[in-house]
Structure 1
Amino acid sequence: MNFEEIKSAIESYMQKDKKLFTTSSFQSHSLVLLHILSRIDNSIPIVFINTGYHFPETVAFRDKVVEEFGLKNLIDLRPDVPKFMQRDSEGRLLFASDPDHCCYLNKTQPVDNLLLRHDVWINGVRADQSAVRKTMKVEQPAPHGTVRFHPMLDWNAKSIYQYQKEFDLPKHPLESNGYLSIGCEPCTRKVDPEMMEREARWYGMNKTECGLHTDLVSK
């Protein structure tokens, strides 16, 4: 979808009094959607899923981008379960022993609760990012009668780069250090030359998604 198509779709939702929100990890490639939304309506809620494990550089970059783009409604979404309760039977934090459950408590569960209060989740997934995302559609049903809207689904790395260049978008400060897919600090590593972008997440584990794009899609 191009800018005008995205704008038309979002305005159509608004005319139907739909409650919208978007989530963002504030990685470099994520800024394209945020910038597009800032040009359409800068009051759309921008949800930062604050797991408590983000790089400090990500949090500082988030604040810089919000100010630069003039975004009016940043929501710092935190988990309901405190960290001292996120441990296994041996006392280890879950990211070290059960990353799927860690992601559920810190990401999936909080967003699932958020869906109860909204109608449309504007989501920046791209089909070229993973096998799971390649099967998605521009509009898909989500839990609690909500809709997932994927305006960036047919974009690719080249079109993201072109938009970044056209509008001179800032880059995440860790990108120059070899981090291309940036999530929680314990589960993110630098990308090796032979690796695909998202292989740097949950490296060495049989895991490529956190659950947001697998559990929060109605089958």
Structure 2
Amino acid sequence: MAYEVCEAADEVGELNARLRDATPQEILRVAIERHGGKIALVSSFGSESAVLLHMAAQIDPDIAVIFLDTGMLFGQTLDYRKQLAQRLGLTGVRDERPQFQDLAVHDPNADLWKSDTDACCHIRKVLPLDRALKGFDGWITGRKRFQGGDRIRLQVVERGEGKLKFNPLANWTKADIDAYVAEHDLPAHPLVAFGYPSIGCWPCTRPVEEGQDERSGRWAGSEKTECGIHTPRASSIVEVGGDI
């Protein structure tokens, strides 16, 4: 086991050294070519998602794209997901939803978010993603360092849930994102115009004031900054009826 851990660490270190200064497109190409059809891009189809999705579509329009439909997303997000996937020609978008049993046991009234946001995210995002990633050897995220919080230490390549995890946009700034959107005339998420620079589920997402951290509208008023899918956890799958 110790040998496997060291070998995995060496692999991550080698890839980070190789890709530290690479462009997002170069990082994406390495990730896709390295894993072939065994890699998935996880996307919220949020305020900045169009950039990474557009890049991926230029390399492999059939790449698996995992979209976590929590059952509590804004209607605008669901519409944007359909429209953007069609426009970019992405054929492998998969809508992953929480299991009925999980909701029936732990959130029968759809109000768990009021008392325990961590548990709500676990049922509606963490468990569905863990199930969706089975069969894949690696995954790709759209996180960036400029988003703040724990993300300021983000590496280009990590290990997450026992798989290689690529963050092609880790090095990019907000100006880089905006320039790419303008250059390729990518459509914005409809809620961006209403002061939502970061968009999650409607009960836990608020608009932010100009100059505030772009993720300050997520779980506003609490210390929570991540939903849990990017947080190390002891077990990938929690059985229905188990502790959450």
CA RMSD after TM alignment: 2.1
SS at match of 2:124: helix
1:87 aligns to 2:104 (yes or no): no
SS at match of 1:57: helix
The equivalences for 1:1-219 within 5 A come to 1-14=22-35, 17=36, 19-80=38-99, 81-87=101-107, 93-143=111-161, 145-215=162-232
CA change 1:11–1:23 in 2 (3 A) is closer
How far apart, in 2, do the equivalents of 1:203 and 1:11 lie? 36
Shift, 1:174, TM fit: 1.1
TM-score by length of 2: 0.81
Kept in 2, the 8 Å contact 1:108–1:216? The answer is no
TM-score by length of 1: 0.90
Deviations along 1:63-82, one digit per CA (max 9) or x if unpaired, are 00010000011100011245
SS at match of 1:128: helix
2:14 matched residue in structure 1: none
Identical aligned residues as a percent = 38
How far apart, in 2, do the equivalents of 1:4 and 1:217 lie? 32
How far apart, in 2, do the equivalents of 1:217 and 1:157 lie? 33
SS at match of 2:146: coil
Kept in 2, the 8 Å contact 1:94–1:101? The answer is yes
How far apart, in 1, do the equivalents of 2:89 and 2:212 lie? 35
Kept in 1, the 8 Å contact 2:142–2:168? The answer is yes
CA change 1:209–1:11 in 2 (3 A) is closer
Kept in 2, the 8 Å contact 1:20–1:121? The answer is yes
Number of aligned residues: 213
Shift, 1:53, TM fit: 0.2
How far apart, in 2, do the equivalents of 1:5 and 1:188 lie? 33
The answer for unaligned runs of 5 or more in structure 2 is 1-21, 236-244
Shift, 1:216, TM fit: 5.8
Shift, 1:2, TM fit: 1.7
Shift, 1:177, TM fit: 1.2
How far apart, in 2, do the equivalents of 1:49 and 1:134 lie? 24
Kept in 2, the 8 Å contact 1:115–1:146? The answer is no
The answer for unaligned runs of 5 or more in structure 1 is none
Shift, 1:3, TM fit: 4.8
CA change 1:170–1:180 in 2 (3 A) is same
Shift, 1:155, TM fit: 0.8
Deviations along 1:45-65, one digit per CA (max 9) or x if unpaired, are 111101000000110111000
SS at match of 1:76: strand
CA change 1:58–1:3 in 2 (3 A) is same
Kept in 2, the 8 Å contact 1:18–1:119? The answer is no
